[in-house]
Chain A
Amino acid sequence: MKASRRVTVIAGVLVAGCMLASVALVHHLDQVRTGASLEEVLYIPSPKALKRMSLGYDGLLADVYWTRAVQYFGTKHRVGAKRYDLLAPLLEITTYLDPQLVVAYEYGSNFLAPAPPNGAGMPRRAIDLQEYGIRNNPNEWRLYYELGFIYYMDLKDYAGATEAFARGTRVPNAHPFLRLLAGQMAEHAGDLQTARMMWTATYQTSTETAIRANAAAHLRALQVDEDVTRLEALVASYREQTGHFPASFSELEAAGILRGTPVDPLGHPYKLMPNGRVEVRSPDDFPFIQKGAPPGYVPPEAPKVLPTD
């Protein structure tokens, strides 16, 4: 009289089983065709054609391409890729479809401009992207900041950076640090302090997780560089006084040169080597350090960018 129990049980079990199997297969498929949906970018003759094909749903499509760009860079970056050929077209398509998507320009300056493995190494294309963004959003101070950032960090073109920051100060409601930066450029270009200021600004004003994590890693590296320089100077002066290297930091402490055991930005004590060098405990945690790594240290293929706290 009732619905057949046998049919119910068999169909129910099959639905559950097939669902599990299909999820597993989707997982396999994703591995078989990593980035396959991205490759179609190569077949798209121009963002213009794509915009026409999107039948007016270009906002949605821009979001799709934005996600693709983030996925593309994130996945490749994690395995330490040396080339990011599709990042530029992906960001260009995204911003063509939605020119107001500021975060995409931000992403471009942080990851399209730097040299591999930390970026695509295309500063010129990144600059074009910012200029395109500025044409479409002339009142967005952030874009001038990003433009100056690329000139400063990746091209070491301090004049270009000064001009970009100066242009930014003329935008209504511009962030006050643009004026500060523009002033800083003349005297302190190339200073550790200026770099620190810029990375702090990026860290504080960005909302994108990857960009913040990247800025935090740079800030930590700057801190390590500064600490190591200072500590090694202390060790050198101790040696001048005593004629030998200190065996540990406590020796320096006893001599009244140092207060407490110095720790790196992650809270681990610095190591003092017998030859007077100062090193971080695990250099892999600080992908951008100039100092503090053991001699002959080879950084891992994939830079380890720790999540922000």
Chain B
Amino acid sequence: MNGRIVHIASNTFREAVRDRVLYNLIAFALLMSGAAILIGQISINIERLVVINLGLTAVSLFGIVIAIFIGIGLVSKEIEKRTLYTVLSRPVRRWEFIVGKFFGLACTLVVNTVFMAIGVFGALLYVSHHFQTADGWVLVALYFIILQFLIITSLALLFSSFSSPLLAAVFAFSLFVIGTFAEDLRGFAALTQGFTRWLATGAAYIVPNFSALNVISSVAHQQPVAGQLIFYNTCYALIYTAMALCGAVLIFEHRNLK
């Protein structure tokens, strides 16, 4: 990676941190500790289940919201405030700017997730007093959640490269919801006939496949995650992210920055 991308990424990270993005961790900490105490009081035998389900779902939702709301502003805010002009009048290529912005937000989300993961494990320790080997799978679920963030961030960047921030947020969020049901969408497509089938199948394969990245409930039930699934999910998320980023670069490269 070249130096300029690193500088843009670290500046994006720094701005996000100073813009109090990490304050969400306070809300998360309150939620986790409150839940841990409450669950410890009332549930019998399903404390771990509830803590893992609740914790991972919260990690996922907090991150998705941050990814979308910061992601859509990454480019449009710089155009609006004309800071982009001072960046692009330097020896910085447009694609370097997009890629740098992406890595900056991705780093922010990873750091955020690491802190939240500590919270989840803390709550887990509180309710069950010791860790089990199966808790290792929670790490895999967290890893999959981070992969989801990468995809969502790249999509938010893609949409914000050609539409208004509000529309971009709507697009990105809709794709997140649709992607969560991607497997069912392929099921729907298989039930249709003729041209519709062809179209629906195409759409069902192109939307991000978040369903395979969501192993929260099976991990909560201490089910192992297949190594093959980890491998394919990793490849898929990286390739999908690269695709959305390249799309963003393609659009941004041709755009007149009025």
A positions within 8 Å CB-CB of B: 3-4, 7-8, 11-12, 14-15, 18-19, 21-23, 25-30, 32-33, 36-37, 39-40, 43, 64, 67-68, 70-71
In the bound assembly, the distance between CA atoms of A28 and B218 in angstroms comes to 20
| Pair A26/B205 contact, Cβ less than 8 Å | yes
B215-244, CB under 8 A of A: which get 1 and which 0? 001101100001011001101100110110
Shortest Cβ-Cβ A-B pairs, 7 listed? A18-B243, A14-B246, A25-B236, A71-B187, A11-B250, A11-B246, A67-B187
Given A4-B93, A12-B250, answer yes or no on A30-B186 (Cβ-Cβ < 8 Å): yes
Given A7-B95, A32-B228, answer yes or no on A22-B243 (Cβ-Cβ < 8 Å): yes
In the bound assembly, the distance between CA atoms of A118 and B207 in angstroms comes to 35
Q: Is the interface of B mostly helix, strand, loop or mixed?
A: helix
Contacts A26-B212, A28-B232, A32-B226 known; list 6 others, CB within 8 Å. Answer: A7-B95, A11-B95, A15-B243, A15-B246, A23-B206, A32-B232
| Pair A67/B188 contact, Cβ less than 8 Å | yes
In the bound assembly, the distance between CA atoms of A280 and B220 in angstroms comes to 54
Given A7-B93, A15-B246, answer yes or no on A40-B218 (Cβ-Cβ < 8 Å): yes
| Pair B217/A40 contact, Cβ less than 8 Å | yes
| Pair B94/A29 contact, Cβ less than 8 Å | no
Q: List 7 A-B contacts (CB under 8 A).
A: A12-B250, A18-B242, A22-B205, A22-B239, A23-B206, A26-B205, A43-B218
Q: Is the interface of A mostly helix, strand, loop or mixed?
A: helix
Closest to A19 in B: B243
Given A7-B95, A43-B217, answer yes or no on A15-B240 (Cβ-Cβ < 8 Å): no
Chain B: minimal CB distance from A16 (Å): 9
| Pair B184/A67 contact, Cβ less than 8 Å | yes
Other-chain contact of A8, B182, B191, B205, B253 (Cβ < 8 Å): B253
Given A7-B249, A11-B246, answer yes or no on A30-B183 (Cβ-Cβ < 8 Å): yes
Chain B residues within 8 Å of A40, by CB: 217-218
B positions within 8 Å CB-CB of A: 93-95, 181-184, 186-188, 190-191, 205-206, 209, 211-212, 217-218, 220-221, 226, 228-229, 232-233, 235-236, 239-240, 242-243, 246-247, 249-250, 253-254
Chain A: minimal CB distance from B211 (Å): 6
In the bound assembly, the distance between CA atoms of A21 and B232 in angstroms comes to 11
In the bound assembly, the distance between CA atoms of A272 and B36 in angstroms comes to 76
| Pair A26/B236 contact, Cβ less than 8 Å | yes
Chain A: minimal CB distance from B228 (Å): 5
Chain A: minimal CB distance from B37 (Å): 23
Chain A: minimal CB distance from B159 (Å): 15
Chain B residues within 8 Å of A11, by CB: 95, 246-247, 249-250, 253
In the bound assembly, the distance between CA atoms of A30 and B201 in angstroms comes to 14
| Pair A26/B209 contact, Cβ less than 8 Å | yes
Closest to B201 in A: A23
Chain A: minimal CB distance from B143 (Å): 16
